[in-house]
Amino acid sequence: MRLNADNHGTDKNLGMQTPTMTLAFDMMRQETSIGRPMASSRIYNDLRQRILSLDLPPGTALTRADLAREYDVSQTPLRDAMQRLEQDGLIRIYPQSKTLVTRINLDQIREALFLRQALETEVAMKLATTPSPATMDRLREVIAMQRLVAADNTKLRRFQELDEYFHYVMFEGAGHPNLHALLRSQTGDMDRVRRLQTHSEERLGLILQGHERIVAAIESGVVEAAIREIRFHTHKPDDWADEYRALHEDYFI
């Protein structure tokens, strides 16, 4: 399914999420919901976003009774959603005691960065070997939406969500959407640190340029160029998260 950035751009004030963006986010959420009850997936996706966005910061206590009332569900879908969040490493369930949002683990971030670069390199190689015009068009549409969102500095979270969707489109185009789901399940701590970042206009521009260079390299069919661009785009130094730990000690192990 293609996204039409021309027909469904943001409104002039970027004051509301557009149909195109809603479609993009819904498709990305659907990736984690296949074969799951609707209520369970709804709770999982919402709680996951609240944790990743730091609306529920590390160390927050979650009470099942309160969550059941908030989402207006029984304990069964709530239990399933929370088990999935625990598998993602985002919460820790202490039976008969409490449930806490986990603190950020730097060792987990380093492993997630290694996994991300390995998987995305293979995906870029596959796309460059057999470029798909439809996938390239979708990637450009996501970039166009990111440019619209980047013009409003209050929409950083939307920009980051579209950034994740850009990479999902790559995995889907290579025929490996389930590997993107696997990657998402391992990158929760990394994503939370990303929410601690403050992005300047220059930084957002560099991210967009990186996406454009990835698309151009893949479309060229030059595998070496595609590998070079995706590795440059996904690389972070080993001490990348250290400065955020110094600023937010309570959020980290």
Domains of the chain: 19-29+105-251 (1.20.120.530), 32-101 (1.10.10.10)
Res. 13 pLDDT band, cuts 50 70 90: very low
3-state secondary structure of 99: strand
**Mean pLDDT for the stretch of residues 216-244:** 95
Contacts of 203 (CB under 8 A, 6+ apart): none
Structure confidence by residue, pLDDT tens digits, 159-193: 888 999 999 999 999 999 999 999 999 999 999 99
Q: How far apart are CA 147 and CA 192, in angstroms?
A: 23
Structure confidence by residue, pLDDT tens digits, 20-74: 555 555 555 544 444 455 899 999 989 998 999 899 999 999 999 999 999 999 9
Phi and psi at 14, nearest 5°, equal 50, 30
3-state secondary structure of 252: strand
pLDDT at 109: 94
Is the full-model pTM beyond 0.75?
A: yes
